[in-house]
């Protein structure tokens, strides 16, 4: 920084242009604030460019390819041996999707008066920030700031990636050739989503998870169908298994494993992907110089208004404690922007849905039965199977169920969870129901269109009341 350099003044700086940062910047622009949005790579952040969107593009393509083998039962015949998956063509399509979305974000920022600056930002003090922009250095003086720098893959030194054979989650989406064999280290949602996608494309996949089950953060009864489908796809699941080391050689990657059941063993694969979690990007942005506190894990504690310990500095998304979800980050960004503009806004809802894009997908909101009982609720719960839903059968998607949990005395909805086709879209009804403090009668009295998958909610609600039409009601 040059002594005496003149700082550019703005109402708000937003550091990070991901789904939380750009949402905050756009909302600030709508509210008449002058705002500078600083992004060191591409608007949309990891989610749009290297995470959520590319991974869902791969999952969709793999699922469509996998379905080809079952088209015969629908009367559709394909010439023998003509179906193939061309990874290069998929990359072209994926990049077109990413480009369209990224350009859309850029246009929305421009339309709302947001100044976008490409560069790396560092706090210089509690009201100034420096930005390195391709050899230049600019200083901005702000009244308020929003930290939205996101997260990156967590890779311990013993599993260090070389981005060629030992990969992180972003690398797994940039492969130019399908590996014959692939080890996924970490059976959480990222590992299982990508592992199942590659298995559908013909790769022999092994998933190694240190916990006793895959998707360890999800209730086991909700993951049962995923475990079954993984085995049907030929995926080897090694749970309660630790990775001691990985080494790269001429024959690929050798993974040294240990478990109580099998002792020490080695696995040699073409590629290995490390998907064991993410860490917040808070270590290199000068938080100490701004006086912003972080916890022992590097997260920035915030209140319901997304304020840090410095009242004029806000933090949103993956840098804050809580689930690393794009939709949570976007909501926090809007809340922070509205608080800055003196509107009555806060993160006052516990109903943040989760979605896991495995096969079948899983989605939920609110409490599971075990969580509700653990909090002292008297609980009633019921589930309705996909195999009894007409639309599910016409789609060939008979595996899965919808589950509704209510407080026994009041019938207040406490949680809604769904495993099965289109679960990511179905859960929206559950979020709205819980947000409106609906009771199970409200769900049961709502006319759902037929034939649709949404009827699984209607039937589960009616099952709790003892009068589901398409299943035997338990006494």
Question: What's 359's DSSP letter?
Answer: S
Interatomic CA distance for residues 302 and 288, integer angstroms? 16
Give me the residues paired with residue 278 across strands: 153
Phi, psi of 21 (to 5 degrees): -65, -45
Q: Which of 299, 377, 417, 450 is catalytic?
A: 450
Specify whether the CB–CB gap between 201 and 84 falls below 8 A: no
Interatomic CA distance for residues 416 and 87, integer angstroms? 37
- The DSSP secondary structure of 394-439, one letter per residue, reads HTT----EEEEEEETTT-BEEEEEEESTTHHHHHHHHHHHHHTT-B
Cβ neighbourhood burial of 64 (10 Å; 0-12, 13-18, 19+): exposed
Specify whether the CB–CB gap between 170 and 164 falls below 8 A: no
Q: Which two tokens stand for residue 108?
A: 């929305």
Q: Which residues contact 103 (CB under 8 A, 6 or more apart)?
A: none
Angle at 471 between CA 467 and CA 472, to 5 degrees: 75
Active site residue 66: no
Task: Name the residues annotated as catalytic.
Answer: 450
């Amino acid at each position: 920084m040059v002594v005496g350099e003149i700082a550019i003044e703005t109402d708000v700086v937003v550091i990070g242009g991901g789904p939380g940062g750009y949402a905050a910047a756009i909302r600030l622009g709508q509210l008449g604030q002058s705002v500078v949005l600083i992004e060191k790579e591409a608007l949309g952040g990891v989610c749009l460019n290297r995470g959520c969107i590319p991974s869902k593009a791969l999952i969709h393509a793999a699922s469509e390819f996998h379905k080809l083998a079952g088209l015969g039962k629908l009367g559709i015949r394909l010439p023998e041996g003509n179906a193939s998956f061309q990874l290069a063509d998929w990359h072209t399509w994926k990049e077109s999707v990413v480009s369209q979305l990224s350009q859309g974000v850029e246009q929305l920022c421009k339309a709302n008066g947001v100044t976008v600056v490409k560069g790396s930002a560092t706090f210089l003090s509690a009201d100034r920030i420096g930005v390195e922009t391709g050899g230049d250095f600019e200083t901005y003086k702000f009244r308020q700031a929003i930290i939205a720098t996101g997260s990156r893959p967590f890779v311990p030194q013993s599993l260090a990636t070389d981005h060629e054979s030992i990969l992180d989650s972003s690398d797994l989406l940039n492969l130019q050739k399908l590996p014959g064999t692939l080890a996924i280290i970490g059976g959480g949602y990222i590992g299982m989503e990508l592992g199942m996608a590659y298995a559908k494309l013909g790769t022999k996949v092994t998933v190694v998870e240190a916990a006793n089950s895959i998707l360890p953060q999800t209730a086991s009864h909700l993951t049962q169908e995923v475990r079954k489908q993984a085995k049907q796809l030929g995926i080897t699941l090694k749970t309660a298994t630790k990775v001691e080391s990985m080494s790269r050689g001429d024959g690929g990657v050798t993974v040294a494993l240990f478990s109580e059941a099998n002792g020490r063993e080695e696995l040699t694969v073409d590629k290995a992907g490390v998907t064991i979690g993410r860490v917040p990007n808070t270590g290199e942005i000068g938080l100490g110089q701004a006086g912003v506190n972080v916890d022992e894990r590097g997260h920035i504690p915030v209140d319901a208004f997304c304020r840090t310990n410095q009242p004029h500095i806000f933090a949103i998304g993956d840098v804050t404690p809580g689930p690393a979800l794009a939709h949570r980050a976007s909501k926090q960004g809007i809340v922070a922007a509205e608080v800055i503009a003196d509107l009555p806004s806060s993160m006052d809802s516990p109903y943040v849905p989760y979605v896991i894009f495995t096969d079948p997908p899983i989605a939920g909101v609110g409490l599971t039965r075990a969580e509700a009982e653990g909090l002292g609720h008297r609980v009633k719960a019921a589930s309705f199977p996909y195999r009894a839903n007409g639309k599910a059968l016409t789609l060939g998607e008979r595996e899965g169920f919808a589950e509704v949990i209510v407080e026994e005395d009041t019938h207040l909805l406490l949680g809604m969870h769904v495993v099965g086709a289109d679960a990511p879209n179905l859960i929206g009804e559950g979020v709205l129901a819980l947000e409106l403090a609906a009771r199970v009668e409200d769900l049961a009295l709502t006319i759902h269109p037929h034939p649709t998958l949404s009827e699984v909610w209607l039937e589960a609600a009616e099952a709790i009341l003892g009068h589901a039409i398409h299943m035997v009601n338990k006494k």
